[in-house]
Amino acid sequence: MNNDTGMFPDKGRRELGFLERRGRVPATTGLRDLAIPGDAAAGAPIPARQIDLAEIWRTVMKWRWLIAAIIVSCVLAAIILSLLVTPVYRAEATIEINKESMEVIKGSNLQPMQMNDVEFLNTQIELLKSRSLAERVARALNLANNALFVPNQDAPQAARERAAASAVQNAMTVDTNGDSRIVKIAVESSDPQMAATLANSYADNFINQNLERRYEANSYARNFLQSRIAAVKAKLEQSEKGLVQYAQQQGIVSIATGATSAEGSGGEQTLEGASALALNSALATAKAERIAAEQRYRQSAGAQATADVISNPMVSALTQQRAQREVEYQDKLQVYRPEFPAMVQLKN
């Protein structure tokens, strides 16, 4: 642009003329012819142009049909796309995950290792996202035969089951609500009824899977205890057989008393056993009578010896002499001291 006249140079005019001769519309640069004073050419600031609303309105009215055509085209395109795109529905099922301690043996303090809340919740979420649960849901709803999840129904049954499990697993997401134990199971599907069915089936199968896992743990503990009990019982039976063999080798006779046993059956008693019991009873009675007779004999012998001693004349004379010496000692004690030789002789 020429700084003096504000017009394009001749070269620009020749180019525009060339475009007009070829039948093309020259490009509009949006510039207007301006007369720049000398101060502006020297670098003085150019004042900002103000927005002319009237000019904008005239431009809009000039191209109103083009603008209207663009708006209508966009609306029609949006409507067509919304009609062509398959709608996706989202269904949610909410479950609460609680940590429950498992009692391995009833009435005992044996408990499995416990995890903290964060670890337990993360473990349950991973179980919700697991492939095994997705396969369980697919089998429960028979999705292998559903064309919505497996379009190729001519594939083998195993392939269709794997495809159905993959589709179910991809359609499911798990959302947690902060630090709470509430977990949301969300399922997206083009069929709203199927989305709701999948969400509910996921929740039901997750609960059933936890119950089965707990039952399997209890069953494992029960089977382990039963196997140990069977082993101990076998050892006990072997020990009893050894005891019976030892008794037979040593001639030890085991006599049943006829009382009811632990199995509820009474014991059998042979003639030899009855004779042995009678002899043992008679021996015990004889021992008791002998002990009683010996005791009575000793008591009577002691009493007879006491009577014989009292009736002996020598014993009586010695007793009388002892009494006389005691009286003499007491009489002399009033005159002499106990250390006097005569007193000591009387006392001895």
CATH code (residue 180): 3.30.1890
pLDDT band at 29 (very low <50, low <70, confident <90, very high): very low
Measured between alpha carbons, how far is 264 from 260 in angstroms, rounded to an integer? 6
Q: Select from 152, 215, 143 the least CA-distant residue to 172.
A: 143
Cα(169)–Cα(208) distance, integer angstroms: 18
> What is the model's pLDDT at position 304?
56
- Taken in order 236, 242, 243, 245, the sign of the CA dihedral is positive
Which one is predicted more confidently, 163 or 327?
163
Amino acid at 255: I
Average pLDDT, the chain: 75
Q: How many domains does the chain have?
A: 4
In 3D space, the residue among 184, 143, 147 whose CA is nearest the CA of residue 166 turns out to be 143
**Which is higher by pLDDT, 204 or 221?**
204
Regarding whether 98 and 150 lie in a shared domain, the answer is: yes
Same domain, 71 and 179: no
Within a domain: residue 271?
A: no
Cβ-Cβ contacts under 8 Å for 203 (sequence gap 6 or more)? 93, 95, 185
Token couple for 256: 């049943």
Say yes or no: 220 and 153 in one domain: yes
3-state secondary structure of 8: coil
Write down the pLDDT at residue 105: 55
Q: How confident is the model at residue 206 (pLDDT cuts 50, 70, 90)?
A: very high
> Model pTM?
0.45
The interaxial angle of helices 131-141 and 157-171, nearest 10 deg, is 110
Confidence at residue 317, expressed as pLDDT on a 0 to 100 scale: 76
pLDDT > 90 fraction of the chain, expressed in percent and rounded: 16
Gap between the Cα atoms of 28 and 145, Å rounded: 65
209 versus 34: which is more confidently predicted? 209
**Whether pLDDT at 311 is above 90:** no
Of 53-67, 178-192, 300-314, give the lowest mean pLDDT range: 300-314
- Residue 250, pLDDT > 80, answer no
Range 139-147 average pLDDT: 89
pLDDT higher than threshold 50 for residue 19: no
Q: Are residues 168 and 291 in the same domain?
A: no
| Domain membership flag for residue 253 | no
Check whether 81 has a pLDDT greater than 80.
Answer: yes
